[in-house]
Structure 1
Amino acid sequence: MTLGVLFLIFAILIVVGIPIGMVLTIAGLLPDLVGNFIVDAPALVKAMINGVDSFPILAVPMFILSGNIMAKGKISEKLFNFFAYFIGNLTAGLPIATIVTCLFYGAISGSGPATTAAVGAMTIPILVDKGYNKTFCTSLVAVAGGLGVIIPPSIPFIFYGQSSGESVGKLFIAGAIPGLLIGACLMIYSWFYCKKNGEDKEKLNTYVKELREEGIIKLFLSSFWALLSPVIILGSIYSGIASPTEAAVISVFYALIVSAFIYKTVDFKILFNILLDSAKTYSAILFIIAAAIGFSRVLTYYDAPTILTNIVTGAVSSKIGFLILVNLLLLFVGMIMDTTPAILILTSILLPIAKAFNIDPIHFGVMMVVNLAVGFVTPPLGVNLFVASSISGEKIEDIIKGAVPFILSFLVALVLITVIPAISLVLL
């Protein structure tokens, strides 16, 4: 079986609508099933199992669990109230507070859909009640939720580090400024939207007045543990006290202590359901990871990275040309494939080509994750679209229309991140 035939079968299976985990498994085992492949099926399955037996990957279920605990523990509500206290009555104050909340919550959960769900469930009703258009609010949260995979700690960065051999800690550091840049672009559009369409200042002033009646000290004490969570998680990594995996475990215990004993929003009955939901979520991801590792091994045996490197370097003569090509490819892939398998498959193919053009692997990893984050709000996959729709009741097609200006803002930041590597590398 040739590499071209394998890719064709892979594409057909995707288009037909077979779940990505099964597509990867079939594509990985197919060469041995139709001929004498250099590696037989049992050996490939063993490689898949060994591939997921990895210490860095253990961070993923831990961040999923801590994110779910904090979602049920109403951490996002504490964060939003704190930011709304200061800027809620300014132009676009509450939409900007929502984006900042997504930034902070992303530094807790590491997941786009989790950020959309946790922040959206709380902020969308508030924004609508204060006079903002429901489609605008839903689209805002859906796109801003994508910040959850860019702001560290980021689950996709863990997978990129696993696939590329790069330091996950350095990837986390590199993602900080790009995440803030994207957030700033979303805030700028929100300001222009609210300036053009107007706001119900009476409702906004009343809402902020109610918040401020509690007093800054009371509000700060109420929000303190929520604000401290990203500091503890990221501080333990950047200071060298803990590895990303160890920090993920710390985040679980911190989330549990804060939610169960300080805010008292999670009891043992709720905790059981959280554990069950987290296990279901990770079991599906784990199967995809194993299948993707097996498929990437097949591509390696076919020498796909070298072949594609020669093809691309022969067709594209400049670094800028390659970056444009890769951005277009990743934006398309993000529309039809989840972030995890996309990173696990494409890293082994694209990274050698990027190195041939002297592109820093850390910068390339940030660019990949930012590209694929756009896929959270682009159909047909668009996971954040479905999450936001289920929360607000808005139709998917309406959310997509409302999300277009936000996506364009996202893409402006992507262009800057692509052409200015220092945005990703300045903190390293």
Structure 2
Amino acid sequence: MAMGLFFLIFFVLIAIGTPMALVFGGMSFLPNLVSSSVPYTVDAAIRSMFSSLNSFTMLAVPLFMLSGVIMARGGISKKLFDFFAYFIGNKTAGLPCAVVLTCMFYGAISGSSPATVSAVGAMCIPFLTSLNYDLVFSTAIVTVAGGLGVIIPPSISYIVYSGASDTSPSDLFIAGILPGILIGLCLCVCCYLHCRNSGEDKLVLQKNYAELHSRGFAAVFKESFAALLTPVIILGSIYGGICSPTEAAAVSVVYALVVSLFVYKTIKLQDVLGLFTEGAKSYIGILFIIASATAFGRCLTIMQYPQIVSKAILSVSSNKLVIILIMNVILLIFGMILDNIPNIMILTPILLPIANAIGMNPVHFGIMMTCNLAIGMVTPPMGINLYVASGMTKVPVLKLARACVPFLISFLVALILISYIPAISLVLLR
């Protein structure tokens, strides 16, 4: 089947709103239905779907999603925010920067960008506006910083990429630490420049800072300790060789339940079944996408489409810097029109051979891909973070997207550094 016709049908199906699982599954069947000489039969595609779910690594995805749901209901984000605000709440842009730091830590709990926007935004946006920060600015901070949920480990996107590329999820988790911190620092600089130029209500901020300090550091630390300990337990067990990422995901669910039920007492026993049901509903759509996208990726490989695309891109230039730029542009464009998990399943078999051809480490490529797709979560028309934040605050999506531009510029600066300086991703692996 001609590659041009294949991808034309693929994009037409997406454009008319066909569910992604059906698009991937249908396109996996299509070549063999058109020509029986194609070796990838419908039976083989179905077997690929089932085998993709029979994966110990992929089991971490629903577990981390469930842990994120429990943490969100348990009010963990409020404890994290108070801890950071205690130290920088009286500084210029201190509270907006505390929001960014809260998103970073919450990302190390949930592994999901929309979950981070929802959990942190529900608490931080009303709080910032009560201190006379502009509603659109406050919403934009959370919208963009929420993208750190897929970059700061543990990340669901890293786990999916690991399955698509046969790369160690533990290596990806370690490699994602410094890039996530770099992006967070760039966003904090952007917050500082905005607040320095636009001004803040210093009297209100000082009053809030004094109230927080009147509780004393010991009380604030005691309240936030269990929340701060969460990423330490999850990541420490992985990096210390105690648990695999999947086992750590199971530990995170148990820990989230214990903290929310018995430490903070923000959920009750009768709520647990509903939380598990909510987690299952969140995962079920992703489950079908992962299964069908795996079959789609194997179909592409058998049809040799990735090799054709790879030769075409490599024929444009032999310069490694130019090839990396082209891959970034492709990832940014796809990030604007598709969610990150379908993108990972589509683009990994196409772009990873190109990355290998120019000597790019697969772990470095995975981090670069995830950072690009995180930006896609804040850019129309897909921009899932935009819709989540807009739904909470009623700020129009396009107005919010415009307010996010300065933050996205700082995000892009970090992306350029991550793309062209491999050590940012790989130094902790050495």
TM-score of the superposed pair, with normalisation by structure 1: 0.99
Once the two structures are superposed, what CA deviation does each residue of 1:283-308 show, in whole Å capped at 9, x if it has no partner?
00000001100101110110122222
Q: Is the 8 A contact 1:20 1:337 kept in 2?
A: no
Cα displacement (A) at 1:348: 1.1
Match of 1:34 in 2: 34
CA distance in 2, matches of 1:290, 1:2: 25
Match of 1:301 in 2: 302
Match of 1:137 in 2: 138
CA distance in 1, matches of 2:130, 2:399: 19
Counting only pairs closer than 5 Å after superposition, residues 149-160 of structure 1 correspond to structure 2 as: 149-160=150-161
Q: Secondary structure at the match of 2:183?
A: helix
Fraction of identical pairs, as percent? 52
CA distance in 2, matches of 1:311, 1:196: 47
Q: What is the CA RMSD across the aligned residues, in angstroms?
A: 0.9
> What letter corresponds to residue 21 of structure 2 in structure 1?
G
Out of 337-346 and 35-44, give the one that drifted further: 35-44
Match of 2:219 in 1: 218
Unaligned runs of 5+ in 1: none
CA distance in 2, matches of 1:310, 1:401: 37
Q: Secondary structure at the match of 1:377?
A: coil
Match of 1:421 in 2: 422
CA distance in 2, matches of 1:269, 1:345: 41
Cα displacement (A) at 1:268: 2.5
Q: Secondary structure at the match of 2:176?
A: helix
Q: Please say if 1:6 is aligned against 2:36.
A: no
Q: Is the 8 A contact 1:112 1:146 kept in 2?
A: yes
CA distance in 2, matches of 1:335, 1:310: 25
Aligned residue pairs total: 428
Match of 1:178 in 2: 179
Match of 1:393 in 2: 394
Give structure 1 regions of 4+ aligned residues with deviation exceeding 3 angstroms: none
Match of 2:320 in 1: 319
Counting only pairs closer than 5 Å after superposition, residues 110-149 of structure 1 correspond to structure 2 as: 110-149=111-150
> What letter corresponds to residue 409 of structure 1 in structure 2?
S
Q: Please say if 1:74 is aligned against 2:75.
A: yes
Match of 2:263 in 1: 262
Match of 1:90 in 2: 91
CA distance in 1, matches of 2:124, 2:428: 32
Out of 235-244 and 298-307, give the one that drifted further: 298-307
Once the two structures are superposed, what CA deviation does each residue of 1:143-175 show, in whole Å capped at 9, x if it has no partner?
000000000001111111111111110110100
Cα displacement (A) at 1:32: 2.1
Q: Is the 8 A contact 1:152 1:175 kept in 2?
A: yes
Cα displacement (A) at 1:188: 0.3
CA distance in 2, matches of 1:402, 1:365: 28
Q: Secondary structure at the match of 1:153?
A: coil
Q: Secondary structure at the match of 1:241?
A: coil
Once the two structures are superposed, what CA deviation does each residue of 1:349-369 show, in whole Å capped at 9, x if it has no partner?
111111111111111110000
CA distance in 1, matches of 2:102, 2:191: 15
Once the two structures are superposed, what CA deviation does each residue of 1:336-389 show, in whole Å capped at 9, x if it has no partner?
111111111211111111111111111111000000000110011111001111
Cα displacement (A) at 1:276: 1.3
Counting only pairs closer than 5 Å after superposition, residues 97-116 of structure 1 correspond to structure 2 as: 97-116=98-117
Match of 1:227 in 2: 228
> What letter corresponds to residue 419 of structure 1 in structure 2?
Y
Q: Please say if 1:338 is aligned against 2:342.
A: no
Match of 1:64 in 2: 65
Match of 1:15 in 2: 15
Match of 1:279 in 2: 280
CA distance in 2, matches of 1:204, 1:75: 23
Cα displacement (A) at 1:403: 0.3
Match of 1:291 in 2: 292
Unaligned runs of 5+ in 2: none
CA distance in 2, matches of 1:277, 1:38: 40
Match of 1:190 in 2: 191
